[in-house]
């Protein structure tokens, strides 16, 4: 897998994670448990698509090989994607959908807050534009975690089961990358080394309020979204998301 400079790698991880999470949410069109939730999920998805475009446009400029943000989304293979493993996992039931969204939001919002102070003005500007949306996202997802966790016996059991099933993918959120040290030192992402501890604190607080049991710390394994080593689930996501562009190259409306 070709690696780029650390700043570009961060941009790809942010853009890819937002894009794949948005694609998963878009799969729920016509399949959400209530009309209001379908509208809300799609709004979150659209927010993430917009953020992904901003990050990937900047990444494409830095890579400077003629590719656009659209090319990065629709014409890269699975091994070239840098997204978090968490977001590529299937939606499952509504409890699983919200568990995934919350665990992602608890990482995403504090990261954007730190990037608002980046020495890179472009990164700081994109983060500042995205923070209001992400503040809404985590408020909404954490409320659903508490509502289901501290609700009926069945809702509690479903939410606990969802957390237990998805938790082993959180090792990427709970453990700092070496990349973070460099970006912190260079002031590209000031304070980012503390991101993992901040994620852990947010998750622990919300799960306690939801009367849910937090699983034991997930251990690293051979998978790594940052290194392009994904689960088979990403391949299915890309097959659907990239079909039109690959079947009809350079198609336009």
Q: What is the CATH number of the domain that holds 32?
A: 1.20.1260.10
Residue 1 lies in a domain: no
Residue 252 lies in a domain: no
Question: Cβ neighbours of residue 228 under 8 Å, at least 6 residues apart?
Answer: 1, 78, 79, 80, 81, 82
Predicted pLDDT of residue 1: 59
The string of DSSP codes covering the chain is: -----HHHHHHHHHHHHHHHHHHHHHTTTTTSSSHHHHHHHHHHHHHHHHHHHHHHHHHHHHH-SS--HHHHHHS--GGG----GGGGS---SHHHHHHHHHHHHHHHHHHHHHHTT-SSHHHHHHHHHHHHHHHHHHHHHHHHHHHHHTS-HHHHHHHHHHHHHHGGGGHHHHS--HHHHHHHHTTSSTTGGGHHHHHHHHHHHHHHHTT-PPPPPPPP-S-BGGGTB--HHHHHHHHHHTHHHHHSTT---
- Those residues of the chain that have pLDDT short of 50 are none
Residue 242 lies in a domain: yes
Predicted pLDDT of residue 249: 86
Predicted pLDDT of residue 178: 76
- Distance of alpha carbon 228 from alpha carbon 120, whole angstroms: 25
Q: Is 0.75 surpassed by the pTM of this model?
A: yes
Provide the domain limits for residue 55: 6-218+226-247
Residue 253 lies in a domain: no
Residue 93 lies in a domain: yes
- Distance of alpha carbon 100 from alpha carbon 168, whole angstroms: 12
Q: Provide the number of structural domains found in the chain.
A: 1
Question: What is the 3-state secondary structure of 172-225?
Answer: HHHCCCHHHHHHHHCCCCCCHHHHHHHHHHHHHHHHHHCCCCCCCCCCCCCCEH
- Distance of alpha carbon 49 from alpha carbon 146, whole angstroms: 27
CB 155 within 8 A of CB 143: no
């Amino acid at each position: 897998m070709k690696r780029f400079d650390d700043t570009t790698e961060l941009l790809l991880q942010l853009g890819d994670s937002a894009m794949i999470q948005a694609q998963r949410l878009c799969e729920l069109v016509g399949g959400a448990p209530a009309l209001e939730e379908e509208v809300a999920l799609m709004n979150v998805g659209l927010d993430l698509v917009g953020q992904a475009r901003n990050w990937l446009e900047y990444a494409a400029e830095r890579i400077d090989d003629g590719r656009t943000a659209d090319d990065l989304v629709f014409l890269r293979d699975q091994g070239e994607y840098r997204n978090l493993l968490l977001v590529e996992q299937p939606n499952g039931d509504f409890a699983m959908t919200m568990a995934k969204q919350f665990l992602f939001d608890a990482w995403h919002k504090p990261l954007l807050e730190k990037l608002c102070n980046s020495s890179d003005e472009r990164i700081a500007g994109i983060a500042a534009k995205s923070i209001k949306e992400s503040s809404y996202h985590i408020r909404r997802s954490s409320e659903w975690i508490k509502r289901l966790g501290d609700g009926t016996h069945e809702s509690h059991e479903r939410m606990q089961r969802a957390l237990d099933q998805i938790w082993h993918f959180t090792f990427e959120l709970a453990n700092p990358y070496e990349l973070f040290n460099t970006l912190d030192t260079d002031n590209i992402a000031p304070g980012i080394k503390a991101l993992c501890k901040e994620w852990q604190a947010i998750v622990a607080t919300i799960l306690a309020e939801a009367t849910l049991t937090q699983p034991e710390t997930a251990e690293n394994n051979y998978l790594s979204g940052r290194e392009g080593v994904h689960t088979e689930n990403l391949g299915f996501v890309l097959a659907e998301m990239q079909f039109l562009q690959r079947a009809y190259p350079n198609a336009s409306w």
